[in-house]
Structure 1
Amino acid sequence: MDSINLRKIFDETCVRHGILVLLWLEFVWETYLSIRQFKKAKAATEVPDVLKKVMDKDEFEKARQYSLAKLKFGFIKDTHGIILTTIIIYYGFLAYAWDYADFINPVKGEVTNSCIWLFIVSLVSTIIDLPLTIYHTFVLEEKFGFNKQTAGFFVWDKIKAFLVNQIITLMISSVIIVIIKSGGPYFFIWLWLVVCIISMLLLTIYPAVIAPLFDKYTPLPEGELRTEIESLASQLKFPLTQLYVVEGSKRSSHSNAYFYGLFKSKRIVLFDTLLAKDDGTGCQNDEILAVLSHELGHWSYSHIIKNLILMQINLFLLFLGFSILFKYPPLYEALGFHSVRPVLVGLFVVCSYVMIPYNTMLSFLMTCLSRRFEFQADHFAVKLGKAEPLERALLQLNKDNLGFPINDNLYSAWHHSHPPLLERISVLRQSAVKTK
């Protein structure tokens, strides 16, 4: 064996092992954080004073057991994922999928081959993950009273989600391949511009066109709550055009509220599980208004726009990194691609594996920024005189969702994009005092 082949094998091996080292380091770090949180939750058996008015000992214990169950499931899921990924990389299964895609492809060409390959990989991945998904929905969530899905609803929902995701993904992937292949040495600029346009288009049409395929959206009925929400929007000059209730209770009893829309057309969506129920769950009208005041704080401080700008900057940096690295043969050979170098595979390897350190650090920084935004939105609600109902809403939502309020500081700093409940209430009260 000559020196060139030896060097080729050496480079390929180094890249493969380098990718695996990065993946396993990330797994070890996440596992370490989860163990810290597990120990914290295991030891915390007393209801915090702040919660004693809304959560008794039994409810607190149920929330604690729910937290522990999710942590155990997360460990199993992460372990399953890292072992599977290691096997796929080490034995070159992605390359086998490419060869099979090429074998069944009636129209030879990189675009069609990449689309078939991507479909095969997505289908196999979905099937492999299905047992864990079923367990999470029908065992873990069912045990704690959150799952509302029937088996038929679950199956049809997953099929729809898979098909819609494939249609969108394959269309975008085709465009990406064409731009990379024909865009010249500065293709990453054209790629970034096109993906920016596509992402903005998807953000616009998804809530109005795609989301209704999965959940039923109905206008909030006329009444006191609708009048108060419209009055709040008018007071803040929020360009509210539609006000919906989404039937989230068919899927889960978890609750939420959000707004969407660009420019001068905004829509507010309330989960039906957020509305007050006879069983004591849900929020009263003043609490819902406080939650919406918080959400409108995000709009007032342009948090959505800032996040979109950061997302586009991140995309540009990822594509720039890809443009520098994608012609390096060992990147492909490390995954078993010895005779071909599909650009879609290169994009996947660079963005998902090579840039793990960058992605990890960015995720942490975005979590920190998100927390800052949440505190700002809370302060906005306080300035509107919503401090007391917002605190009640946070406590009620935490109770309804079995949120566990005791967190390891390092785990929380790394994972929680929203401030922990106890810290959030403490800051909320301080803000209320300062505002008076």
Structure 2
Amino acid sequence: MKQQHFLELINLDGITNVESITLINNFRQIEKHGSYLYIMIKKYNLEKEINQICSNKIQLQLWYLKQMEYRERLKVQMEKGIRRSKLSFDKNISILILMAILRIREQEVSYSYLYIVVSYIVIKYLLEQFINLRQLDQLSVKQMPIHIEQTLGITQKQFKRSQRFYYDKLSFEMYTKSIKTAIEIIVILCGVMPFIWERTVTFFKMDPNSEFQRGLAYIFMEFLRLKLIDVPNNFYNTHVIEKRYDLSQISFALQFSDLVIESALWVVFVPILLYSYLYVAELGGDYFFIAMQFFVLFMAIVSSLVYPNYIQPLFNEFEELKETELKQAISQLALRMNFPLEKILVMDGSKRSDHSNAYFFGMYSKRIVLYDTLINNLTNEEIVAVVAHELGHWKYKHPYIKLFFFCIKILITFYIFGFYRDSDVVFLSFGFKEKSIFIGSALFFSLFEPMNTLFQIFELHLSRFFEYQADIFASHHGLGSYLMSGLVKLFKQNSTNLMIDTVYQWYYNSHPSLFERLKYLNKLR
């Protein structure tokens, strides 16, 4: 871009022939034009051209004034420069002065966004580590409480083994959390994000005008960075900590196979999702947040259909439950509740761990999935009670209520995002020289993280409430005692944490503790 073309493009009406220091006092005009002007100058690397416009050394020094406390010095220098050189303030000189003032304004305003994000990361880290330390205190208890012995019937040796396992597991999580937080802060403060974004053109040779290509390359780099941290941690957690206590059945080869499949799915779906997101974001215009609401809702529905039918079978084998008394009992239960049951499937969960579970999926006709470990360790009556609990979620429409609140969350998120997506100051704060929907989204979600944390706490509270409701449903169908005995067996089989701090439970867990659920079910009897 030629210098003259650039000057014609910005067309700063009202800033030509500026007299004395009028421009300094006219901050409304600066705020109106300044950020866009800075974006254009950085984008087309015009700093050198702008500097060459001005021959006066005092004016040239203004370009390098960056900090807020230099405002008064700026005024004095300009006044001296005007008196000594008697310069004519044409548009070119005005641009330089505008840029000097804008650099000061950046320090006052734009960097606050970066510091807000970093401050929140630090505060959240300290808060979560404090909560984890509270939980470590619980896991340091050596003597088994009497209510655990009476409820579970486990020995002191089993109690100590459980305490040691969760102590080791949580300690390792705290260690990895510290590393991840430190890296995250370094990435933000050292400008790694804009560095990667610029390398999408210089290194990956992507089209600089294609946000999709550059966004895909950026995600790929971030994917590699995160995997380099997560993969070793996951393998250590599984093959060292869990196998030390005989709680993991997964082989090294199987876990590596899972990683390969996950990466292949990433290669297939991420480009589709990114392209769709950018297309909808651009198509939405002023109603961007509404368009994005429908897009996310559509993707949630599609994923609920695609994942259990096509993706989950890549990791586990499913076979239909054979004609047994258990199948008849579950079918009769579904019939009594008008549950649209299509099939009952058994999943080979035992090849990865001893954990047991049951769930259902499907939009209209439903399929119930039972872990093979559930069938092997619970009686038929207890399994039916667990299934009744799951059907309680369906009866009370919990999946749809969760989807409703998810839509509200998305609507609020993208409505607020609409105010920031075109904000030059946000981009400048994190060191980006140009605006883009993709980068704007990434930066906004970082800024929105405090609100997102509040949403997550609300969702956890809602989930715990739903668990109580589902327990009530099973109890009202005469299965309360079987559900209680089934929960105790599942608790022991899954080697669930025996000692839980109340704050830790409130902040992290989506289910009430076993003892809270048993106490509640006892009241219903």
Matches within 5 A, 1:366-385: 366-385=459-478
2:137 maps to which of 39, 42, 49: 39
Amino acid at match of 2:168: A
Matches within 5 A, 1:81-160: 81-103=180-202, 104-108=204-208, 109-160=210-261
1:30 maps to which of 114, 125, 128: 128
Question: Does the 8 A contact of 2:212 with 2:278 survive in 1?
Answer: yes
Q: What is the deviation of 1:374? A: 0.6
Q: In the alignment, does 2:496 pair up with 1:396? A: no
| Separation of aligned partners in 1, 2:153 and 2:337 | 31
Identity across the alignment (%):
27
SS of 1:383's equivalent in the other structure is: helix
The residue that corresponds to 1:169 in the other structure is 270
Question: Does the 8 A contact of 1:370 with 1:417 survive in 2?
Answer: yes
| Separation of aligned partners in 1, 2:304 and 2:442 | 23
Question: Does the 8 A contact of 2:361 with 2:368 survive in 1?
Answer: yes
Q: What is the deviation of 1:13? A: 2.3
Amino acid at match of 1:159: V
| Separation of aligned partners in 2, 1:161 and 1:239 | 32
Amino acid at match of 1:267: R
The residue that corresponds to 1:287 in the other structure is 382
Structure number with bigger Rg: 2
Q: Any stretches of 5+ residues in structure 2 without a counterpart?
A: 1-64, 66-99
Matches within 5 A, 1:51-70: 51-52=149-150, 53-70=152-169
The residue that corresponds to 1:273 in the other structure is 373
| Separation of aligned partners in 1, 2:119 and 2:401 | 34
Q: In the alignment, does 2:110 pair up with 1:12? A: yes
The residue that corresponds to 2:339 in the other structure is 238
The residue that corresponds to 1:349 in the other structure is 443
Q: In the alignment, does 2:434 pair up with 1:340? A: yes
SS of 1:43's equivalent in the other structure is: coil
| Separation of aligned partners in 2, 1:241 and 1:328 | 51
SS of 1:100's equivalent in the other structure is: helix
Question: Does the 8 A contact of 1:36 with 1:411 survive in 2?
Answer: yes
Q: What is the deviation of 1:47? A: 4.2
Q: What is the deviation of 1:331? A: 2.2
Question: Does the 8 A contact of 1:13 with 1:334 survive in 2?
Answer: yes
Q: What is the deviation of 1:130? A: 1.6
Question: Does the 8 A contact of 1:54 with 1:399 survive in 2?
Answer: no
Question: Does the 8 A contact of 1:148 with 1:250 survive in 2?
Answer: yes
| Separation of aligned partners in 1, 2:475 and 2:149 | 20
Question: Does the 8 A contact of 1:111 with 1:178 survive in 2?
Answer: no
- The Cα offsets for residues 300-359 of structure 1, whole Å up to 9 and x where unpaired, read as 11111100111111111111111111222232233331x2222112112212x2112211
SS of 2:345's equivalent in the other structure is: strand
| Separation of aligned partners in 2, 1:255 and 1:153 | 19
Question: Does the 8 A contact of 2:142 with 2:160 survive in 1?
Answer: no
Amino acid at match of 2:503: L
The residue that corresponds to 1:262 in the other structure is 363
| Separation of aligned partners in 2, 1:296 and 1:142 | 34
The residue that corresponds to 2:395 in the other structure is 300
Q: TM-score, normalised by structure 2?
A: 0.78
Question: Does the 8 A contact of 1:95 with 1:335 survive in 2?
Answer: yes
Moved more, 91-100 or 310-319: 91-100
Question: Does the 8 A contact of 1:47 with 1:60 survive in 2?
Answer: no
| Separation of aligned partners in 2, 1:371 and 1:51 | 25
Question: Does the 8 A contact of 1:258 with 1:269 survive in 2?
Answer: yes
The residue that corresponds to 1:279 in the other structure is none
Q: In the alignment, does 2:457 pair up with 1:364? A: yes
Q: In the alignment, does 2:290 pair up with 1:195? A: no
Q: Any stretches of 5+ residues in structure 1 without a counterpart?
A: 277-281
- RMSD over equivalenced CA pairs, Å: 1.6
Question: Does the 8 A contact of 2:389 with 2:470 survive in 1?
Answer: yes
| Separation of aligned partners in 2, 1:62 and 1:120 | 41
- The Cα offsets for residues 104-151 of structure 1, whole Å up to 9 and x where unpaired, read as 245441111111211221122112222111111111121121222222
Question: Does the 8 A contact of 2:359 with 2:370 survive in 1?
Answer: yes
| Separation of aligned partners in 1, 2:133 and 2:229 | 26
More RCO (CA 8 Å, sep 6+): 1
Amino acid at match of 2:176: K
SS of 1:332's equivalent in the other structure is: helix
Question: Does the 8 A contact of 2:211 with 2:438 survive in 1?
Answer: no
| Separation of aligned partners in 2, 1:402 and 1:297 | 25
Specify whether residues 105 and 182 from structure 1 end up closer, same or farther in structure 2 by C-alpha distance, changes over 3 A only: farther
| Separation of aligned partners in 1, 2:146 and 2:268 | 48
| Separation of aligned partners in 2, 1:327 and 1:354 | 15
Number of residues of Structure 1 aligned to a counterpart in Structure 2: 424
Amino acid at match of 2:159: F
The residue that corresponds to 2:54 in the other structure is none
